[in-house]
Each structure stands twice: as C-alpha cells, then as structure tokens.
Amino acid sequence: MHTYDVTVTTGASPEVVWKLLVDAASWPLWSKVDSLDTTRSAGLDPGGDDGVGAVRAFRTGRTVTGERLTEKVEPRLLAYEGAFHTTMRNYHARIELKPTASSGTVIHWYGTYETSRLMGRVMPRYLQRFMQGMADGLARYAERCMPAP
C-alpha cells in the first residue's frame, strides 16, 4: 500500500474552496488536469455541486482517470475512490478543509493506493509531487475567487 499526504493553507474561506472542489468542471482551471471528460463521467450536477456517487473523469495528457465521490460533508470533507485508473488499484482519497483563525482554510489532501511492483518504484514520488501541485493550485485559485472586500 502506498500513500500521499499534502497540506497547504490558503487565505480563501472553506466555502470558496468547497465550491471549487465539488464542481468537477472547475478542476482544469486550478489543477494539473487538462480537462473534464464528460463522456466518461456520470452523475455530474449541472449546477456544479456533484454528489456522492458521481463519477468524474479527468484527462491529463493522454490518460483519463475516474474517481467516484464516496463522502461529502459540506464544507469540510470530500472523499473519493478510484473508479478507473490504468496504474492504480484500491485508490481512496480524502480532502479535509479546516478554517483558520484568519478566515482562511487548511487543505489536507491524502490518499492510499496500490500499484504494480514496477510502478511502485516511481509512482509514490511522482504522485506526492503531483498532489502537492493539485493542492497548491486549488489554494491559489481559491484566493483569486474570493469576493472583493
């Protein structure tokens, strides 16, 4: 079993961060994924509030990966599992949002997965960096989406 675990703090409120997380269409704006593949996704909410059971398919380069939302506690927890992925099995991830004293948010994104022995040599370092980039992108984009004072 492999893991990744990243944490970042943003000046944006948990509500602003939450809206970006539950709207799969926003992910290409702030993350390392190139696009949302709507043909392989299922159960997406047209209003951008994807619910438990929705499958969100994201394209990064030539690879399409799918995740199924498994838990949703607004605005503090979004959990998902791998619905389809060519290199990972038994993938489970959680994104926890905790408010800071200064009205910002701590984003804690972590997951577990299995992979082949060969991929196990490179995947843990790669995925740790990739997911740190995802969390950093979410934090910075959320700050740009904050309402003006």
Least confident of 34-38, 125-129, 137-141, 143-147: 143-147
pLDDT in tens, 71-95: 999 999 999 999 998 889 999 999 9
Instruction: Identify the H or E element spanning 134.
Output: helix 123-144
Instruction: Specify the pLDDT at position 3.
Output: 95
Instruction: Specify the pLDDT at position 146.
Output: 80
Instruction: Specify the pLDDT at position 128.
Output: 95
For the beta sheet containing 63-73, the strands, ordered from the edge strand earlier in sequence to the opposite edge, are 2-10, 105-114, 89-99, 77-84, 63-73, 55-60, 35-36
Instruction: Specify the pLDDT at position 136.
Output: 98
Q: Give the pLDDT band (50/70/90) at residue 52.
A: very high
Tokens in use for 24? 């799969």
pLDDT at 119 over 90: no
Q: Give the pLDDT band (50/70/90) at residue 33.
A: very high
Q: Could you give the domains of the chain?
A: 2-144 (3.30.530.20)
Long-range CB contacts for residues 32-39, cutoff 8 Å, separation at least 24: 32/60, 32/130, 32/133, 32/134, 32/137, 33/58, 33/59, 33/60, 34/58, 34/59, 34/60, 34/61, 35/59, 37/64
pLDDT at 149 over 70: no
Residue type, 148: A
